[in-house]
């Protein structure tokens, strides 16, 4: 009887999928930031001529760090439901391009500042904020990464720089547009801004 129960237990346990444990959010963002720093500090990629190659090396790191759909959904907030699925997909792609365009020069202007990580703070179910700061001489700029657990990993869905949320900042801009314009008009304005 005991063997039968042990056998049944093993059978039941073998049918339960084993969940792969994702790294902690802090470990994930540390790893991604360090990957970016390796590219930015590469002596072979110094100077204006290496700018495009640097960008080419950074895009894949960003793509495995940021959840652009969550960025988009958070930015549009309740206006997300005003867009049909095709418009949502286009908005996400355009918004990603806008963020890359606006912030890439800031990232490329990195000059050996130090990044120091702090603690993780729970924000809700499957969401945390990881504290960090960029130190340059006597200046310290707090940068907090808001992350969501999804698809077995941790993804950034917002960045708070000096207490200003990237998502909240853009939310107010897009909200103003969508109170006066249709989603299609907003997308057209975004297309122009990105190109």
- pLDDT value of residue 79: 94
- pLDDT value of residue 48: 82
Residue 67, both tokens:
């959840």
Contact between residue 75 and residue 186 where contact means Cβ atoms under 8 Å apart: no
Structure pTM?
Answer: 0.82
Q: What is the CATH number of domain 21-194?
A: 3.10.450.710
- pLDDT value of residue 100: 87
- pLDDT value of residue 15: 33
* Whole-angstrom distance, CA of residue 132 vs CA of residue 5: 51
One pLDDT digit (tens) per residue for the chain, 195 residues: 433 333 323 333 333 333 334 579 999 999 999 999 999 899 888 888 888 899 999 999 999 999 999 999 999 999 999 999 999 999 999 999 998 888 887 888 877 788 999 999 999 889 999 999 999 888 899 999 999 999 899 999 999 999 999 999 999 999 999 999 999 999 999 999 988
The torsion angles phi and psi of 68, rounded to 5 degrees, stand at -70, -25
Name the β-bridge partners of 120: 130
User: Where does residue 163 fall: left (phi above 0), alpha (psi -120 to 50 degrees), or beta otherwise?
Assistant: left
- pLDDT value of residue 22: 55
- pLDDT value of residue 87: 96
- pLDDT value of residue 17: 33
User: Where does residue 40 fall: left (phi above 0), alpha (psi -120 to 50 degrees), or beta otherwise?
Assistant: alpha
- Domain residue spans of the chain: 21-194
């Amino acid at each position: 009887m005991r063997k039968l129960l042990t056998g049944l237990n093993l059978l039941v346990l073998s049918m339960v999928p084993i969940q792969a444990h994702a790294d902690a959010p802090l470990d994930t963002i540390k790893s991604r930031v360090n990957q970016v720093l390796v590219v930015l500090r590469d002596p072979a990629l110094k100077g204006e001529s290496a700018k495009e190659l640097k960008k080419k090396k950074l895009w894949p790191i960003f793509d495995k760090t940021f959840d652009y759909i969550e960025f988009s959904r958070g930015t549009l907030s309740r206006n997300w439901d005003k867009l049909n699925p095709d418009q949502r997909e286009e908005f996400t792609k355009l918004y990603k391009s806008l963020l890359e365009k606006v912030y890439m020069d800031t990232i490329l202007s990195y000059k050996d500042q130090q990044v120091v990580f702090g603690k993780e703070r729970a924000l809700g179910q499957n969401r945390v904020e990881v504290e960090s700061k960029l130190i340059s001489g006597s200046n310290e700029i707090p940068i907090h990464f808001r992350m969501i657990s999804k698809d077995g990993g941790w993804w950034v869905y917002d960045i708070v720089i000096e207490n200003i949320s990237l998502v909240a900042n853009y939310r107010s801009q897009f909200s103003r547009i969508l109170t006066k314009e249709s989603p299609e008009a907003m997308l057209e304005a975004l297309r122009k801004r990105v190109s």
